[in-house]
Amino acid sequence: MYDRDALIAATDLTGLADELLGGHHGSDRSPTWRCPDPQHAQSGRTPPVTIFTSNRGEQRWRCHGCGTGGTAIDLVMACCRTNPRNAMEILADRAGHHEHNQDWAPPPRTTPRPLVHRCPDQAGLDRYVEECAQALFAPEGKRIRAWLNEERSLPDDVLAANKIGADLGPRHQRRPDGMPRTAGVVLPVLADGHATYAQIRVTHPRPDGPRYLNPTSDLAPNPRLAHILHSERRHREVIVCEGTIDALSAAAAGYRSAAVLSAAYPDQAVALELARLPEPLVIAFDRDAAGLAAADRLTALLDAHHHHPVNLNLPSTDLNVALQRSSNWPKELELRVNAATSTERMGLARSLS
The CATH class given to the 226-352 domain equals: alpha beta
**Whole-number Å distance between alpha carbons of 138 and 43:** 56
Protein fold of 4-95: DNA Primase; Chain A (3.90.580)
What is the biggest distance separating any 2 CA atoms in the chain, rounded to whole angstroms?
73
**Residues in the chain, total:** 353
66-90: pLDDT as tens digits: 778 889 999 998 888 888 888 888 8
Mean pLDDT (the chain) is 85
pLDDT at 24 over 60: yes
Q: What are phi and psi of 334, to 5 degrees?
A: -60, -45
pLDDT (0 to 100) of residue 81: 86
157-214: pLDDT as tens digits: 999 999 999 999 999 999 999 999 999 999 999 988 899 999 999 999 988 889 999 9
Q: Residues 46-63: what's their mean pLDDT?
A: 80
pLDDT (0 to 100) of residue 160: 96
**Whole-number Å distance between alpha carbons of 287 and 289:** 7
pLDDT (0 to 100) of residue 111: 46
**pLDDT tier at 102, thresholds 50, 70, 90:** low
| Core vs surface per residue 264-292: b (16+ CB within 10 A) or e | ebbbbbbbbbbbeeeebbbbbbbbeeebb
Strand order in the sheet with 238-242: 225-228, 256-260, 238-242, 281-284, 310-311
289-315: pLDDT as tens digits: 888 888 888 988 888 778 889 999 888
Q: Are strands 165-167 and 69-70 parallel, antiparallel or unpaired?
A: unpaired
Q: Residues 321-347: what's their mean pLDDT?
A: 86
**pLDDT tier at 55, thresholds 50, 70, 90:** low
**How distant, in Å, are the alpha carbons of 125, 203, 212 from that of 209?**
25, 11, 9
**How distant, in Å, are the alpha carbons of 16, 155, 254 from that of 294?**
25, 28, 25
**Whole-number Å distance between alpha carbons of 227 and 278:** 14
pLDDT (0 to 100) of residue 254: 94
Question: pTM of the full predicted structure?
Answer: 0.67
> Three-state DSSP class for 258?
strand
**pLDDT tier at 239, thresholds 50, 70, 90:** very high
Task: From 352, 283, 350, select the one nearest 83 (Cα to Cα).
Answer: 352
Looking at the DSSP bridge assignments, the partners of residue 46 are none
pLDDT at 326 over 80: yes
Question: Where do you find CATH 3.90.580.10 in the chain?
Answer: 4-95
Q: Where is pLDDT greater, at 43 or 134?
A: 134
Cα 81 → chain centroid = 30
Neighbours of 259 (CB within 10 A): 26
pLDDT (0 to 100) of residue 93: 85
Q: Residues 139-157: what's their mean pLDDT?
A: 97
pLDDT (0 to 100) of residue 5: 79
pLDDT at 43 over 80: no
pLDDT at 345 over 70: no
The CATH class given to the 122-223 domain equals: alpha beta
Q: What are phi and psi of 33, to 5 degrees?
A: -130, 165
Cα dihedral 15→18→21→26 (10° resolution) = 130
Neighbours of 13 (CB within 10 A): 18
Question: Where do you find CATH 3.90.980.10 in the chain?
Answer: 122-223
**Whole-number Å distance between alpha carbons of 77 and 54:** 20
pLDDT at 285 over 80: yes
pLDDT at 56 over 70: no
Q: What are phi and psi of 296, to 5 degrees?
A: -65, -40
Question: Where do you find CATH 3.40.1360.10 in the chain?
Answer: 226-352
Q: What are phi and psi of 289, to 5 degrees?
A: -60, -40
Neighbours of 249 (CB within 10 A): 30
pLDDT (0 to 100) of residue 62: 86
**Whole-number Å distance between alpha carbons of 132 and 138:** 10
Cβ pair 279, 237 in contact under 8 A: yes
DSSP string, 17-78: HHHHHT--BS-SSS-BB--S-TTS---SSS--EEEEE-TTS-EEEEETTT--EE-HHHHHHH
**Whole-number Å distance between alpha carbons of 42 and 306:** 29
**pLDDT tier at 120, thresholds 50, 70, 90:** confident
**Whole-number Å distance between alpha carbons of 275 and 98:** 32
